[in-house]
Amino acid sequence: MSAPLSNAVAQAGGQLMPLDALDIETRLGDDTLTRLLYALRKPLVLFTSPTAVNVAAEVLDLAGALNRKTVIATGAGTQKTLVNRGVRQTRAPDRMDSEGLLAMPELTEVDGQEIGLVTGVGGRGVLQPTLEARGAVVTRADIYARVPREITASEWRAVCAAVGPRVLALTSAEAFENVLRWVPQDARFEDWLIVAASERLAKMASNIEASQLPRYPETAAFSNRVVLAHSPMPEDLVAAALTALRA
């Protein structure tokens, strides 16, 4: 469970019901560790998630390894995690998605630039190809993987028993797809408000098909109310939900 999101929800008078759709598996074998070391030696290093930061910090002193380097985070959450690990020179885009990241001045003119990319398996698919198309030489280290897990019947019972409107904070496409696989019909998912952390996720949530929810009838139709948060930060997700619920 995300403690910052749980606290933000509680301050607004709600309760966060965890639906942990993905497990995190670290991938720090000899080959990956070598690639991580190479990536951190580059003059510009990109971290794509708080998990990438924390996994790297399990085996390395990031503050020392990244001293005097340009360090970029994909968003405020990743930036805060880096700062907490002692990497205080971190920069992040105002718009916290791949498009906002790629629009940063540090990443627009990168022909011949060596860049280290610290990420997870399958993460930020558009990032590396775009940087390489701009002429950058990218060293990528996939140091963890998100693995779908079964959301158990007891977890769903807790959600179904909750009183009041149900709001899904949508911050990950992978997690969302796995939630849909397991959601039972008595959860009445079609009535949930969905608060999306990015335009891409909002578009995904606005185009749900019955085939994505195998525990629903094939004829089920979904037209969930979807709202876009200002950012993926917990306070912005909660603010968007409150505004929508009060409308």
Model confidence pLDDT, tens digit, residues 146-168: 999 999 999 999 998 888 899 99
Per-residue pLDDT at 6? 86
The CATH architecture to which 24-146 belongs is: 3-Layer(aba) Sandwich (3.40)
144-148 and 137-142: which strand pairing? unpaired
Q: Delimit the CATH 3.40.50.10090 region(s) of the chain.
A: 24-146
Q: Name residues of the chain where pLDDT drops below 50.
A: 1
pLDDT tens figures, 191-220: 999 999 988 899 999 999 999 999 999 888
Coil, helix or strand for 1?
coil
Residue 226: C-alpha distances to residues 88, 204, 205, 211 (Å)? 36, 10, 7, 19
pLDDT at 36: 97
Q: Is 76 left (phi over 0), alpha (psi -120 to 50) or beta?
A: alpha
Percentage above 90 pLDDT, the chain: 73
CATH of 3-19+151-246, picked from 1.10.3470, 2.40.380, 3.40.50, 1.10.1330, is 3.40.50
- DSSP state letters, 15-74: -------EEEEE---HHHHHHHHHHHTSSEEEE-SHHHHHHHHHHS-HHHHTTTSEEEES
Residue 233 CB neighbours (<10 A): 20
Bridge partners (DSSP) listed for residue 45:
71, 116
Residue type, 132: E
